[in-house]
Structure 1
Amino acid sequence: MIDVADGLTHVLVAYALATLLSIRYPWITARLATVAMVGGMLPDLNRLKWIVSPETIEAALGASFSWRPMHSIGGVAVVICIASLTIRAEYRRAVALLLALGALSHFVLDLLLVPPAGTYQYLWPLTDADVVFPGFYSSRDRWVAPVSILLALAARLVARRHSRSLERESHESPMPADG
């Protein structure tokens, strides 16, 4: 199934990005940061092929089906649109943006994989070309998960310090004017 270290890395990097962005954009709450974490796993929905085969879905739908497009910008965009429509209108934009943030962080991390693991048709349906980068790490490397854990902890620490400094500023009263 999903390599646990790989999945954990995708989730934690999405969390770290959302947490750091929450400093600049206060509408990104802790609850909405978890939406980015879900977005970090969206491209891996293509792995549902191991649970429900494409042939089973083809038989049920009576139409051709493949899980492969799920690991592309086009497939993820469809999932984000559907997911956004299932929630209250006031949260749709925030949820769509944070799902996209998580999914894009997933794609960036995958592009850094050593080929051939780092090759895929990420830009489908825009192009069928494989996007290939030189590669930085292998999905089997165990150092990636601890680094992502440290990154998530550091992001949480920075956000917590920022919120505490804002609390201190709001509790301090201005000096009374001499008069």
Structure 2
Amino acid sequence: MPDLLTHALVMYSVVTVASWRYERLTPSFVTVAMMGAMIPDLTKIRLVLPSYRVESVLGVPFDWFALHTAGGSAIAVLIGTVLVPREYRTRVLSLLALGAASHLLLDALLVNPSGHSYAILWPLTQYHPPTPGFYLSTDRWPAIVTGTIAGAVWARTRRLRSSRDP
């Protein structure tokens, strides 16, 4: 799954670079941001538990794809936020939301035959924004590029930490 790896590596790089300036962004919070980047892909649960089965149990229309939109991701972010101690909630909310937003933004750049993305901002709007079509979710090159960047960020972070320690 090069797509999921790419999302995690992007957030690792972004939040780790931010941690160079903000000491409150410890490695644990970098991980929180990376988990936030994976929230929209919770839709993959449909591979194990199809939407029609949930729909038959609940008796109402249901589709896992809602998690892959701004509205569904926002609900998942809020659920994740209330699961942590109160003193960390603001940071966790911000980092989970940043991760989920970055995922949706990167997915808006995917190649789509129609030239338009899916309704990313659902339930606010059904608008399907145009997509520049930079890459496919199965392409490996985005994971290689982000992996290289993440490796450079990791090396720089190690050098910074070793220069601070006596």
What TM-score comes out, normalization by structure 2 length? 0.90
The structure whose Rg is larger is: 1
List runs of 5+ in structure 2 lacking aligned partners. Answer: none
Task: Supply the AA of the counterpart residue of 1:153.
Answer: G
List runs of 5+ in structure 1 lacking aligned partners. Answer: 172-179
> Contact 2:116–2:128 (CA<8 Å) still a contact in 1?
no
* Residue in 2 that maps onto 1:161: 159
Distance 1:40 1:17 in 2: 12
* Residue in 1 that maps onto 2:11: 14
* Residue in 1 that maps onto 2:133: 135
Q: Which of 79, 92, 96 is residue 76 of structure 2 equivalent to? A: 79
Task: Supply the AA of the counterpart residue of 1:113.
Answer: L
**Deviation of 1:129 (Å):** 0.9
Moved over 6 A (4+): none
> Contact 1:22–1:159 (CA<8 Å) still a contact in 2?
no
CA RMSD of aligned residues (A): 1.8
The equivalences for 1:1-179 within 5 A come to 4-116=1-113, 119-165=117-163, 167=164
> Contact 1:115–1:132 (CA<8 Å) still a contact in 2?
no
Task: Supply the AA of the counterpart residue of 2:45.
Answer: L
**Deviation of 1:118 (Å):** 6.5
Seq. identity, %: 42
What TM-score comes out, normalization by structure 1 length? 0.84
Secondary structure class of the residue paired with 1:63: coil
Distance 2:47 2:130 in 1: 25
